Structure 1
Amino acid sequence: MEAYNELKEGERGAWTSIIAYIALSALKLWIGYTAGSSALTADGLNNTTDLVASIAVLIGLRISRRPPDKDHPYGHFRAETVAALVASFIMFAVGIQVFAQAIGSFGAPVIETPDMIAAWTALACAAVMYGVYLYNIRLARKINNKALTAAAYDNRSDAYVSLAAFAGILGAQMGLPWLDPCTALLVAILICKTAWGIFIDAAHALTDGFDDTKLESFKNTVAETPGVESIEDLRARVHGNQVLVDVVIVVDHRLNVAQSHDIAEHVEKRMFNKHKVGHVHVHIEPSSS
């Protein structure tokens, strides 16, 4: 039940990003077009991809809250991971489009210097997006939600992209008009880089990949539990906003069922308290002597 409540609370962060991206992308595209700034226009297109990604996160969070059914006995927690994977493809497509438009700007007969209103717009939007990042990262850490954490880092990268656009436009005002489309190229690369990171994380989770460092930390926690003589096997996988752990431990063969069960419960409690995992399945094997 706690995992479902956290998903519901995480929707606030997704809605915050969606509202911010709608307002900022519209403003940047309008100002970028009227002021003749390739960098600000590219930044606005970047925000439209982030809007799609935020909507995908929201849809994923909504679907993930559905209870287990006949076809999904483990629940729907991985829906948010699938949504992130789809969003990464959309971001790749827009990144390539921005890159092509920036290259075309270099071939134009005259590269016009954008108006300074584009620079101040980029700077103001950077401040707004950094504020959204601070809100979402605090909420993500509070509810221990990985999807919202990734969205928060995307918010932060968008703030940096807007700062890059500001620098490019400012440089163009100083007699370097080619710097504006150059910054648009940089924005395109950043969009594709963010998309690649989201794709790798989602694909890794969907194929049951898991961080070796965290796995070793889990093993240490189990091994330090009183009554555990050794660990025969320990596996973990990400299931939406949860981590599921399966562990096989060896205990003294002279212990009765109740005593062995107490050790297993102790392992579960230590894993819940220290690592905030969603579920731990403990299998007990008796020692050979």
Structure 2
Amino acid sequence: MTNESQYAEIKQGEKGAWISIGAYLALSAIKLVAGYYYASQALTADGFNNLTDIVASTAVLIGLRISQKPPDKDHPYGHFRAETIAALIASFIMATVGLQVLIDAVRALFQGTGEAPSLTSAWVAVAAAAAMMFVYTYNKKLASRINNQALMAAAKDNRSDALVSIGAAVGIFGAQLGFPWLDTVAAFAVGIIICKTAWDIFYSSTHALTDGFDEKELNTLRGTIARTRGVREIKDIKARVHGSNVLIDVIITVDPTLSIVESHRISDEIEQRMERKHNIMSVHVHMEPSEPTVASVEQEDRTNSIV
């Protein structure tokens, strides 16, 4: 896949980010107004959750825009990590809002007003959950089609938001059944989910920015390379995440009697297999001659003795 194709796919990913932003703008306004008017802390907390999602989706959009810049003298690998940096910034904002929601929920729980929210607020939460499931389905399909990890992460956030709205609705329905404190408990649960999402984004972003890579996935990549015809041994393999891309550096040993053309064929086949099986387009292969085996040394000694 060429850089032009990658940039074109990133451009398509912007559509999903814009749809998320539009949905969050509308839903956060509706939830905050309805939560205040119908006295539902859970729905209000869900509205604040969507406000953080606007920031997160905007960060994804900005990251996608910056990552489309071509490589330059200072960025020979391109600007793909802008997506990761934007996500890291969004995680701090989400954590701040999540903590505020938790503080407000705990304060309200101890105050014990006992006021049950209106049933209308529950139906607002149900409608919002349905809308977010639609956005999730669209973004998930688009992310799978263009293989964009940032958009796939945004789609998972859409799904979690739908679940948060369902939780808020359950709390409100419970309050209608004579347990008004359930609405506050639901608000507390929403705050926990916001903080958990912020932590997940923070962890994955910092892990990628410090060149961390999943060990199980690395072993899977190692197995694919090891099964390539002509590869005798893998002496070392490293991988790192660069935005939505994975960069691989691998050192392999091959038959020392191979020609340059034959060795180059092995390198090409490794690159083709990594693209076909794992959608990885950036693989740097370094080849070294394999150590002679005991059998080959004995055969050479016999030959020399005959001569």
Tell me the TM-score normalized by structure 2. 0.93
Find the partner of 2:24 among 21, 24, 47: 21
The AA in structure 2 aligned to 1:41 is T
Find the partner of 2:260 among 257, 261, 265: 257
Question: 1:103 Cα deviation (Å)?
Answer: 1.4
SS at match of 2:111: coil
Find the partner of 2:49 among 36, 46, 54: 46
Q: Aligned pair count?
A: 289
SS at match of 1:107: helix
Higher-Rg member (1/2): 2
The AA in structure 1 aligned to 2:197 is T
Find the partner of 1:275 among 252, 273, 278: 278
Question: 1:109 Cα deviation (Å)?
Answer: 5.8
Find the partner of 2:216 among 209, 213, 216: 213
Q: Work out whether residues 271 and 281 of structure 2, in 8 Å CA contact, stay in contact via their aligned partners in 1.
A: no
Residues 168-211 of structure 1, C-alpha deviation per residue, up to 9 Å, x if partnerless? 01111111111111110000000000111111110111011111
Find the partner of 1:100 among 92, 103, 115: 103
Residues 28-77 of structure 1, C-alpha deviation per residue, up to 9 Å, x if partnerless? 00000000000000000000001100000000000000001111111000
Match of 1:133 in 2: 136
Match of 1:37 in 2: 40
Unaligned runs of 5+ in 2: 293-307
Unaligned runs of 5+ in 1: none
Aligned residues with identical type, % of pairs: 58
Q: Work out whether residues 122 and 163 of structure 1, in 8 Å CA contact, stay in contact via their aligned partners in 2.
A: yes
Match of 1:159 in 2: 162
Q: Work out whether residues 105 and 111 of structure 1, in 8 Å CA contact, stay in contact via their aligned partners in 2.
A: no
Structure 1 residues 106 and 249: alpha-carbon distance in aligned structure 2, compared to 1, 3 A threshold: same
Partners in 2 of 1:263 and 1:62 — Cα distance? 36
Question: 1:111 Cα deviation (Å)?
Answer: 2.6
Match of 2:232 in 1: 229
Q: Work out whether residues 274 and 281 of structure 2, in 8 Å CA contact, stay in contact via their aligned partners in 1.
A: no
Question: 1:4 Cα deviation (Å)?
Answer: 1.1
Structure 1 residues 84 and 65: alpha-carbon distance in aligned structure 2, compared to 1, 3 A threshold: same
Match of 2:13 in 1: 10
Match of 2:58 in 1: 55
Tell me the TM-score normalized by structure 1. 0.98
Structure 1 residues 288 and 183: alpha-carbon distance in aligned structure 2, compared to 1, 3 A threshold: same
Question: 1:110 Cα deviation (Å)?
Answer: 2.4
Question: 1:288 Cα deviation (Å)?
Answer: 2.6
SS at match of 1:149: helix
Partners in 2 of 1:76 and 1:226 — Cα distance? 34
Q: Does 1:117 align with 2:120?
A: yes
Question: 1:108 Cα deviation (Å)?
Answer: 3.2
The AA in structure 2 aligned to 1:111 is G
